[in-house]
Amino acid sequence: MIWFAEAILLSYSSFSKFVLPSLQAFAEERKEEKEEWRKNLILINPLGLIFGIFNIEYMRGVLENLAVGGSFSFFSLSAGDVSFSAIGIAPEIGVFFTGKAPEGLNLAGALGLLFASAKSAEESASVTGFSLPILLRYNWIFGEKGVGFGLSVGGGIQFVSLSAIGVTVSGISPAISLSLGVGF
């Protein structure tokens, strides 16, 4: 019976000397890997800014291959007594084929809502609409760890529908994405 107790103690001793440290090292490695995963990406559209359109987008990786987010857009233009302004919002979801969301090649879809108005001294009109864009794009986050420079480039198609004064106009148009920002 003593040899049985010695065998158990020897097995436990071997387990604690060799197996437990390996498991702990593996767990630490996985913990570090998770900490390095930058799940957030905030982007702005620099081309839109040239034309006076402010657009900001936020994406958060919720799984390694899935990100959710949304965007907000604002545009305002005045010339003399005529003014035009528009606000848009778009919740979004992206499925990632490479990398860990929000970084890598992804297919993203959104539902964009638009509210616009035009005013002059004599008249005013409002426009409402929606868009359903589908984009194939690639998001980069440059830098080793922590906060990094973000870049997103892509293209696709979108269905757009706009309504004003009882008239609705719908169609398909190209959708292009070029954005700069920060990932963390």
Distances (CA, A) of 141 to 103, 109, 147: 6, 21, 9
Mean pLDDT of the chain: 88
Q: What is the pLDDT of residues 20-58, one digit of tens each?
A: 566 566 666 655 555 579 999 999 999 999 989 999 999
| Average pLDDT over every residue of 82-108 | 97
Asked if pLDDT for residue 167 goes beyond 60, the answer is: yes
Structure confidence at residue 83 as a pLDDT band (50, 70, 90) = very high
Q: What is the pTM of this model?
A: 0.77
Asked if pLDDT for residue 19 goes beyond 90, the answer is: no
Backbone angles phi, psi at 165, to 5 degrees: 50, 40
| Average pLDDT over every residue of 89-117 | 98
Asked if pLDDT for residue 16 goes beyond 90, the answer is: no
Q: What is the pLDDT of residues 126-138, one digit of tens each?
A: 999 999 999 999 9
Lowest mean pLDDT among 30-34, 63-67, 121-125: 30-34
| Average pLDDT over every residue of 141-156 | 95
Asked if pLDDT for residue 101 goes beyond 80, the answer is: yes
pLDDT of residue 144: 85
24 versus 105: which is more confidently predicted? Answer: 105
pLDDT of residue 59: 98
In the chain, pLDDT over 70 holds for what percent of residues? 81
Lowest mean pLDDT among 41-45, 47-51, 98-102, 169-173: 47-51
- Whether the upstream peptide bond of residue 133 has omega within 30° of 0, thus cis, is no
pLDDT of residue 145: 85
